[in-house]
C-alpha cells in the first residue's frame, strides 16, 4: 500500500525533529514549491528546502532548542494539513516562545510537491519582546 499524504507529513516532521535531513529530503520532490510568502517569496527545488532545514537546524536562524508538536492533522487524497505548536529559544536574548502554526503539503507519488506554512508571528514577536 502506498504512503498517504498524512503518512508522508508525519514522517517528514519526525525526521526534521530528529535532524535527519537526508532521509527527510528523500520525501521531497526535486521540483517542490515551498510557498513561504513574505519578502522571501516562494522557494523552488530541493536545494532551497535543504538550505532552509540546514539553516534552522544549525541555529543560523537565531533560535535554538526548537521543537514542533503536531496537535491535529487533517488529510484528503493528496493534501495533509497540520496544526502544530512550535517552541524555541531566541539565542541572543534567551527568551522562549511558544506559538501555533499550520502547514499543508501536497503529495504526489509519495513525495511532497508543494508546501504552505503560516505561524502566529505577532505572538512570537510579543513573547520575545521584539514588538516594543
pLDDT over threshold 90, residue 97? yes
**d(C-alpha 16, C-alpha 18), whole Å:** 5
User: Collapsing DSSP states into helix, strand and coil, what is residue 18?
Assistant: coil
- 98-103: long-range contacts, CB 8 A cutoff, minimum separation 24: 98/127, 99/123, 99/124, 99/127, 100/71
pLDDT over threshold 80, residue 72? yes
For residue 47, count CB atoms less than 10 angstroms from its CB and return exposed for 0-12, middle for 13-18, buried for 19 or more. exposed
Share of the chain above pLDDT 70, in %: 95
Q: How confident is the model at residue 37 (pLDDT cuts 50, 70, 90)?
A: low
Which H or E run includes 107?
A: strand 96-108
Average pLDDT, the chain: 89
Give the model confidence (pLDDT) of 10-36 as tens digits. Answer: 999 888 888 889 999 999 999 999 997
Q: How confident is the model at residue 100 (pLDDT cuts 50, 70, 90)?
A: very high
Chain mean position to CA 1? 26
Amino acid at each position: 500500500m502506498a504512503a498517504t499524504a498524512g503518512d508522508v507529513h508525519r514522517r517528514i516532521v519526525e525526521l526534521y525533529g530528529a535532524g535527519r535531513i537526508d532521509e527527510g529530503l528523500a520525501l521531497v520532490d526535486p521540483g517542490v514549491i515551498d510557498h513561504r510568502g513574505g519578502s522571501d517569496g516562494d522557494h523552488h527545488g530541493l536545494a532551497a528546502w535543504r538550505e532552509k532545514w540546514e539553516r534552522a537546524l544549525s541555529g543560523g536562524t537565531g533560535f535554538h532548542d526548537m521543537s514542533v508538536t503536531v496537535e491535529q492533522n487533517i488529510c484528503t487524497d493528496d493534501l495533509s494539513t497540520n496544526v502544530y505548536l512550535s517552541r524555541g529559544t531566541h539565542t541572543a536574548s534567551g527568551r522562549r516562545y511558544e506559538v501555533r502554526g499550520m502547514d499543508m503539503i501536497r503529495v504526489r507519488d509519495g513525495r511532497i510537491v508543494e508546501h504552505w506554512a503560516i505561524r502566529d508571528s505577532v505572538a512570537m514577536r510579543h513573547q520575545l519582546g521584539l514588538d516594543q
